[in-house]
A and B are shown apart, each in its own frame.
Chain A
């Protein structure tokens, strides 16, 4: 397993266009998180999934943002009608939250970040 993978690495788009990012988490991880990081700031939580269920969304996630994790594996984050204020690094992270792996109970471990997708809206 090569870790958390995000695509594309960079995206430049014109204001008003829609963009979609993809995140492939570590395969045995059941939780997947999206964060946004603007220049000079720490990452800010956007949303997270446990398996395919989206369990929490931040107030930062406006109606133009939608995230899915259809089969509990990879996730997509779509931004509709992009604005210049959407320019940021979008980070995905995955972790394992307690459950069974190979019939053995495992507790929380392994909060790992991907390399991010840098979005520039012009």
Chain B
């Protein structure tokens, strides 16, 4: 059974700090790993990673995948209060359906 574990469960930082979120996974027929940000509603897409070692960046957010060690990290630099959210990691399998298996999420609270 596919499995995704995220750490830490939650963290509290102050504006301007850098945070690193971890995601480890076990999946058969891996296709991609995705990061989502969830505030009060639906998860919103951040990154899709398919290849090891290639960093994806979007503003202050960046992410990288290690397919050998089966993990990914999401970095947020110069955090702002608007970064407060739950960050979800999910893996997508090539098996029929391309359904996503999610981790439990990391709750990030950025204090002013």
Instruction: Give residues in A with beta carbon < 8 Å to B.
Output: 4, 31, 33, 35, 40-45, 48, 55-56, 91, 95, 97, 108, 111-116
Contact = CB atoms under 8 A, between A and B. Distances in A.
Contacts of B100: 33, 35, 43, 45, 111
Contact of B45 (A35, A48, A111): A111
A4 B43 CA distance: 12
B90 to A, nearest CB: 7
B21 interface: no
Contacts of B59: none
Contacts of B44: 113
Interface of B: 4, 6, 34, 36, 41-45, 88, 90, 92, 96-105
Q: Which of A40, A55, A111 has the most CB of B within 10 A?
A: A111
Contacts of A45: 99-101
Contact of A91 (B42, B96, B98): B42
Contacts, number: 54
9 contacts: A35-B100, A42-B4, A42-B104, A42-B105, A43-B43, A43-B88, A97-B98, A111-B34, A113-B44
A56 B99 contact: yes
A56 B96 contact: yes
Q: What 9 A-B pairs come out closest when comparing CB atoms?
A: A42-B102, A113-B42, A115-B41, A45-B99, A115-B42, A56-B97, A48-B97, A43-B102, A42-B104
Nearest to B44: A113
B104 A41 contact: yes
A40 B88 CA distance: 11
B98 A31 contact: yes
A114 B44 CA distance: 9
Given A43-B102, A111-B45, A111-B92, 9 more contacts: A31-B97, A33-B97, A33-B99, A42-B88, A56-B97, A97-B98, A111-B100, A113-B42, A113-B44
A41 to B, nearest CB: 6
A116 B88 CA distance: 16
Nearest to A43: B102
A113 B43 contact: yes
Contacts of A91: 42-43
